[in-house]
Chains A and B, each alone.
Chain A
Amino acid sequence: MTEQGETGEAITILLVEDDAPTCWRLQDALVKAGYEVRSAGTLSEARQALSVGAPRVLLTDLRLPDGHGVELIRETRQRFPETEIMVISALGDEESVISAITVGATGYLLKDAFPTDIATTVRDLVAGHSPISASIARFIVRRTQGAAQNSAEPPPGPALNTAKLTPREIDILWGIAKGFSYAEIASHLGLSKQTVPGHIKNIYRKLEVHTRSEAVFEAVQQGLIKL
């Protein structure tokens, strides 16, 4: 069985992971699910692979021997906007995941996830469903609360601009953080179940700081910098 995109071609995945056993494990799971996987162990190898052509999906670890995965994510996001990006994390901790999200990642994959879950996650991602975990959702909504309460003291953790999120999106994040399913959230909020993934995708987009100049613009908008 081969996973195929809309064009009928096999879906290509670039897997960037420096730990060999983890890399094998993920590669096995993805290849078994029918994806075409190229793997890279360092940042430079990954850049080399990107120069050949854009993958459909980029899976990258953050801590690489010759650099940080965040740089790779940012570059990929700018050069290939169509590419779906996921970060590979050992624990799924907010620190790494949120910093990846702000440069353009739209989800994360746990290193110890079961093979079927790995394949499912990537398939959902390609289908346009950005997965979001309860702990990430919790981090984001706690941050929106913190911004409302006291803006003087910056909260710990990576910088995150939640100003663009709508109340509805924040409600959805609350539901996810509390462990409700999409269906339950949709019924609580009076939405159709199908629209929830779209909202989540929007949330990712809004949390992303696209460029350096945009970051400056954001800062001016929020009054962090005075011109």
Chain B
Amino acid sequence: MSEIAAKASAKAALKPARRRLLASRLVPYLLLQALIAIVTILGIQLLQPSDPEDYAVSDFSAREDGLTRPVTLPHFTPSRYSLADPPFYTGAFTFRSGDAASGWSVFLPRFSNAVEVAVNGVVVLDSRRDANANRPDRNTPQIAAIPASLLHEGGNEITVRLFVWGPLKGFLDTVYVGPDIALRPAYETRTLLFVTLPVVFSAWQAILAVILAIMWLMRRHEPVYGVLAAAMVLGVVQAFAPPPVPPAAVSRLAAVLLASAPIESALIVVFGVLFFGWRWPRYGTLLFVPGVLVFVVGLIGGPPLPRILFLVLGIPTVGLCLFLMACVTATAVVRRQDAASFTIGCAVTIVLVCWVQDMLTVLEIASNDRIFVSRLSYSAMLVAIGAGLTWRFARALNQVDSFAGQLVTRVREAEERLKASFAREEERARAAALANERTRLMRDLHDGLGGQLVSIVALSERGSAGATITDAARAALKDLRLVIDSMDDIGGDLMLALGSWRERATAQLRPHDIALDWRVATPQGLPLHPELRPWHVIQIVRILDEAVTNAVKHAQARHVAVTIETHDGGLGPYGVISVTDDGSGFALAGNCEAAGAGQTARGLRNMRSRAARCGAVLDLSSDASGTRVRLQLPQRFPDSDMAAG
């Protein structure tokens, strides 16, 4: 109970903590964004290029739909969908020949959608032929030189035909007529800001698109790059494909271009979500619906419909996407507090502010001579995204570096640990081997030498005959030699141990006048056994010793023969050692009448158990004509003592 309560209280404590963290991160961010918004608005105000007001021609009479009235530029005219009978503005300006040195020009800073300018009835400029000038989203200025021959000293007439295709209202800014030298700088400034700069940004966008596409091709599991590349490609197409002038038949291309902006902005939102490591929500696909709708309608419907749809669907979608993007980046800033989310967040704020400004302009709430800044500010976001990606790329490289470094360190550590554990293991194995060897040695000494020394002591105490003590002492010495001999490394060649044994057995038999007949079937002798250990050797030699001792002591043999053979039963060679004597033999079972029978039986049992411990097979046969001990060695000696104890 108390645990649950504690958990609950911990959770409750966690919530305010999280809220505090949220507030402490979100509030400064929002304040920063507000500051950026103010700076952006101020920046847009400062961006307004100044025009040579001395040469402004503002007072016109406008003839619209057969109705003539005086107007002051800048002037809005209602939206229309026909190029026939456009609004016709007529104005007057004064030409003084004293200023003619540089020639005169007519300069139109802003108009939508297209103009045809005539001076004294002669057309000097038709912007419909310049595709970029016709785009309402660009603030393209126009300038045209007025041929000197057209100008009269004093009053001159200027007429402007304003071609408008909806749904936006037509707009004509103040017209400037004057010496070219005075008008040209203003024109150049506007061209730089509204024509050259967008081209530069679009080029930057194209480069980014290529880089991102390559990144995506190389890293297919990161769709974020692919999404952004698609958005960039759309942007580039939109920027460089010239929009057709309405009478042109390719209205489908116009629809595609119109649909590009909402789709592009939706892609940017997808990018934002993926970039910050979130999953793209399933219903997020709805964000693409307006763009697709504009596109489909543009393919099917006539020219005016997609434009209207774009205005009511596309532009709000762009705004919605910008707002979503702002939310996404704000969340990312709160959670991650990293440079990339901050940079992108600030850029999104700038674009959002510009979009709002443009909306206010379109709705004629704010008056700024109808200069649209969304497209231009979009480039700010591109720069930010480029910076964000570069930052991320650099960070990934750093991570790889540090990961490689860590890996090297870890591998080294693991290696050292392994070495240490290997050394420990080796030490343990060595200690175990030593302990095993010590145990074996002690047992061997105990089994043989110890018992024999004890029996020598017993015999001496009883004052027994010298010969018996001598035998016991000799046996003890023989056993000591056997144990020492078995210590020697014989490299798995049992023959080397048998060679020494032969000498000892010969010496043992000689006083009894028994000949040892030694027969080795092959020069090689026995197969090699790399796994042969000293304790195997001791057991085998003791078995042979027992057989020889039996022949001498109990069977009164005259000849003892040792035969060493190698057989091959198809599963690899194995050795057989036989000890045969021509003594009287003994009863194998039951019959315990003979004086030495009990001792013999114990000896036989010992031989069998020793053979079993080495994995060897002992075969005994005995009759009145002699005894035969056949020891069949295993193909492989066992590692551990099979019947230890």
Contact = CB atoms under 8 A, between A and B. Distances in A.
Interface string A174-198: 0011111100100010000000000
Interface in B446-500: 474, 477, 480-481, 484-485, 488-491, 493, 495-496, 498-500
A142 B500 CA distance: 14
B501 interface: yes
Interface stretch (A59-67, A70-78, A132-140): A132-140
Interface residues of B, number: 26
Given A91-B480, A113-B507, A135 B485 contact: yes
B520 interface: yes
Contacts of B485: 135
Main secondary structure of the interface of A (DSSP, over half): helix
B500 A133 contact: yes
B81 interface: no
B588 to A, nearest CB: 30
A168 to B, nearest CB: 15
Contacts of B500: 133-135, 138, 179
Given A114-B511, A138-B500, A188-B523, A178 B493 contact: yes
B518 interface: yes
A180 B523 CA distance: 9
A34 interface: no
B510 interface: yes
B72 to A, nearest CB: 109
A92 interface: yes
| Interface hub of B485, B493, B499 (most chain A Cβ within 10 A) | B499
B395 interface: no
A178 B502 CA distance: 9
A124 interface: no
B631 to A, nearest CB: 16
Contacts of B488: 94, 135, 138-139, 142
Interface string A86-126: 00000111100000000000000000111011000000000
B490 A134 contact: no
B525 interface: yes
Nearest to B502: A179
B503 interface: yes
B499 A177 contact: yes
Contact of B520 (A113, A135, A184): A184
A87 B448 CA distance: 27
Contacts of A135: 485, 488, 499-500, 503
B520 A134 contact: no
A153 B131 CA distance: 92
A83 B477 CA distance: 31
A184 B525 CA distance: 12
A94 B485 CA distance: 10
Contacts of B496: 134, 138, 177-178
A117 B507 contact: yes
Given A135-B503, A142-B489, 13 more contacts: A91-B480, A114-B507, A116-B510, A134-B500, A134-B502, A134-B503, A135-B485, A139-B488, A142-B490, A178-B495, A179-B502, A179-B503, A179-B518
Q: Which 9 residue pairs are nearest across A and B when measured between Cβ atoms?
A: A179-B499, A134-B499, A179-B502, A178-B495, A134-B500, A178-B499, A135-B500, A188-B523, A138-B496
